[in-house]
Amino acid sequence: MEDGPRTSRVAGRLEEHLEDFAAELEELGYASRSIKEQLRLARHLSTWLATKGLTTDALSDEVVRVFVAERRQTTTKMRSERALVPLLSYLRDLGLGPAKRPEASATGAESLIQRFGRFLASEKSLAPATVRSYCSMVRPFVLTQAGRPAGWATLSPRDVDQFVVARAAVDCPGSVGVRANALRALLRWMWREQLVDASLLDAVGRVAAPAATRIGQTAFGKEDVERLFAALSQDVAARRRDEAMLGLLARLGLRAGEVASLRLDDLDWRAGVIRVRGKRGRVDELPLPSDVGAALGVYLQNARPPGTSHREVFLGVDAPHAPITGAAVTSVVIHARKRAGIDGRGGAHRLRHSAACAVLASGGGLTEVAQLLRHEHPSVSTRYARSSLEALATLARPWPSEGAR
């Protein structure tokens, strides 16, 4: 069966957002195959909206149901309302879809997933996109196990193991790892909430990660970063804002969401430091490089929209000048990359890799990389060793001399 209408380009209204959407899915750990399926679904929706003369603001529950019903007549894949959740949530974050409806009365399984999601957001301070990803990944497990006659108390390690093995047989390697992490988080939360009688974390087991592409091959090189700056928007206000954002990404290795959440109170000009609000509620103070500080000063004095009560540093250029989102920051990099003719995918996160590789190229070590990127565990930084033989040498133990044998 065909997967929706055949088109060489997106004929509808989502074309300019698809690459940004793909970049978010990639950063959330979606496998390449899953990303392609989501993009195929988005292309079909975009074409369908165009033929109906509708905009994304019209994507109400009823409109989505009509689209899904028509899609079921042309394809056997990705044809449920649940398949559209990642795309619709992404559009909502950009302010392109209808306002999120209040939570309706949910089944026991959906209620449990909602409670788990609120826990991740409030107590673990995970980003909204990560919360959605984790809830989506554990939903099949919760739905298949929620009908137990004696409740969750009878959940056993065997039940967990059987689910993991069954899903691993059909999931892509990248999705297996993300699902395992999400399932561990769910089981840890259920043990804390006393929904299960024993800790079942060990039942998930370890997942062998697929061979990763060398970060040095995906990071932007020094010349690429210069080309990105040159390719920013020619609109004066937008360019001054984007130069400041790009400086934070390239020099300090900030994440897109961290740039978007930066507030005026986080800039300590007298001390020359910047306060960064990272993952899980972590707050760090980083030295503010003079060139980045200069770009921020130019933007704040000459380009930031006046007369607004928003305390976020970076605002939209067009009225109503709302604070930008992490997706918008990524979008700026992606569009600059495309205008500059730089190969590859991704945007803001590639600049984070670039900042780490620049530390290694200048003679720094993995400790400095971990400090710059604010990794919670130093072991996370060891993947950057593959980008530098010198860094890799710091991990190798010296060969014992003759006398020591």
Active site residues: 255, 279, 349, 352, 375, 384
Helix/strand/coil for 267: strand
The distance from CA 71 to its chain's CA centroid, rounded to whole angstroms, is: 28
Residue 245 tokens, joined? 């954002």
Contacts of 207 (CB under 8 A, 6+ apart): 168, 176, 177, 180
Query: What is the edge-to-edge ordering of all strands in the sheet holding 273-277?
Result: 267-268, 273-277, 283-287
Residue 392 tokens, joined? 């890799």
Q: Say whether the peptide bond before residue 320 is cis (omega within 30 degrees of 0).
A: yes
Q: Look at the block and give the residue holding tokens 């007369």.
A: 307
DSSP state of 282: -
Q: Of all helices (H) and strands (E), which one includes residue 256?
A: helix 256-260
DSSP string, 158-185: HHHHHHHHHHHTTS-HHHHHHHHHHHHH
How many contiguous H segments (helices) and E segments (strands) does the chain have? 17, 3
In angstroms, rounded to a whole number, what is the distance separating the alpha carbons of residues 194 and 188? 10
Q: Which sign does the torsion angle of CA 268, 269, 274, 277 carry?
A: positive
In angstroms, rounded to a whole number, what is the distance separating the alpha carbons of residues 107 and 111? 6
